[in-house]
Amino acid sequence: MAADWVATLGAARVRIPLLLASAVLLTAAYPTTDWSLLVWVALVPLLAAAVVRRPREALADGWLQGTVFFLLLLRWLDHTFRNYSAIPWPVTWLPILGLAAYCGLYFGLVAALVSWLRLRLGTGRALAAAPFLWVAGEWFRGWILSGFPWGLLGYSQYRQLPLIQIASLTGVYGVSFLIVAVNAALVAVVALGWRRAARGAVVALALVVGALGVGTVIAERLDFDSDSPRLQVAVIQPSIEQSLKWDPAYQRQTLGIFTALTRRAGAGKPAIILWPETAAPIFLRRDPNLVVDLQVLSAEVKAPLLVGSVDGDQRGLYNSAFLLTGQGIRAKYDKIHLVPFGEYVPLAGVIGFVRRWAEFISEFQAGEVPRVFSEADPPFGVVICYEGIFPDLFRKFVAGGATYMVNITNDAWFGTTSGPWQHLAVLPFRAVENRVAIARSANTGVSGFVARNGRITKTLGLFERGFLSGEILVRVGKTFYTAFGDVFAYLCVTASAAACAAARLRRTR
């Protein structure tokens, strides 16, 4: 029986279709399909192949599945290249393929290590190490080359509120760990039989059931929390096409849309009104008349305004968020984590010529401090666009005193694709990790609110012009994750290193 199973996976005509089908299933677990249950079995073919094939072969298998998965997941980037670059179609797919191959390499490395550990420690121990190896890979992908932690396994579960509550301890990585543990347990049952795999399968099942049980209680309790202070917040979604956003002839109309929506939102007496990233279509501080107009508008609606705009000094340009009141500009935050090939060009002295290829490539300077707007009452923090996918950066604002968080973004570059929805899906984890409510203002969508338990409570869909008003609960206290950060990920990195060291020592002996 075991020999038949090994022979079946060894045949390329069986193995490759299974890996490709698994990549498709894995993609379907994410927005906008959201078939989140698929991820609990989508890694079975990859891990099964890893425990019957040599490390180099497992590397190729994992790399193939990972590359196809990310190519499908990130297909929305084709919209950006086709509409806002000089790269002709189908050449637009080459940079997407390059990014997908880089991200997919981590799948291959995990598969190769599982295969390598199996040769030295046995199938059971290799599969037991798989969840630790996977989390270590996700964590490294979030840091190497400035980091790109998009498409982490845990994000597929953003709607499963009971399950994701463990993120307050482990971050999103804890959910990824559970998913891989279940996939590995299924493979162990097939590879080793029920008796030999029983212990591992029971542990995986107990972890998932325990997380669901405790998470259900926590999620419900937070839904009905009546003790925390409440705050009325309004978010503006102007729904302005990217091609018109910076057109000088359209500036007056753009500001007119913002002003009208802000006045309507102000009728609900919010404590603050949020505009999206680069909402002001000119350099805010270089236009005194615009600053005065915003002061007057803030005084009229009796609420501070948070306005995204470009700023500049002797160092260069910044992607910034300004807090304005009737007294003028009170505070400013400069975006810290910039988008490579979007807001700056890595190795600009060598490949700076790529700026000529696309209009979305800018040259911003990075901010230095995770600035909390303590001038507001209560204090809050802001992450701009892509910064929301970095758990450690987000938690620094909460650790620094933010009682709620704001995400301002401009996803107009991605049209009506799944990209903006995938972007929104990371925020429930940031909310749970820090038990902090999040208000999101997006230029063309998706704007909305995320409660402290990760529930997305209200949204304005793509290219809907309007505003949302919502009541959010102000944070009280800190979570384990806020206080200590990615301790769980560090433990997984340590455990992975220990398993590799043990395997190396076993071979030496």
Residues annotated as part of the active site: 277, 335, 385
> Which two tokens mark 334?
């400069």
Phi, psi of 342 (to 5 degrees): -125, -50
**Is residue 22 a contact partner of residue 46, using CB atoms and an 8 Å limit?**
yes
Which position has the token pair 């993120």? 167
Question: How far from the centroid of its chain's Cα atoms is residue 431's Cα?
Answer: 12
Render 42-99 in DSSP notation, one character per residue. Answer: TTHHHHHHHTTS-HHHHHHHHHHHHHHHHHHHTTTHHHHHHHHBSPPTTTTHHHHHHH
What's the CA angle centered on 160, arms 159 and 164, to 5 degrees?
A: 110
| Contact (CB, 8 A) for 174 and 154 | yes
Q: What backbone phi and psi angles, to 5 degrees, belong to 132?
A: -65, -45
Q: Which of 390, 461, 374 has the alpha carbon at shortest distance from 429?
A: 390
Omega before 482 within 30 of 0, i.e. cis:
no
Contacts of 180 (CB under 8 A, 6+ apart): 43, 130, 131, 134, 135, 153
Tokens (6 digits) for 490:
């560090």
Count of residues in the chain: 509
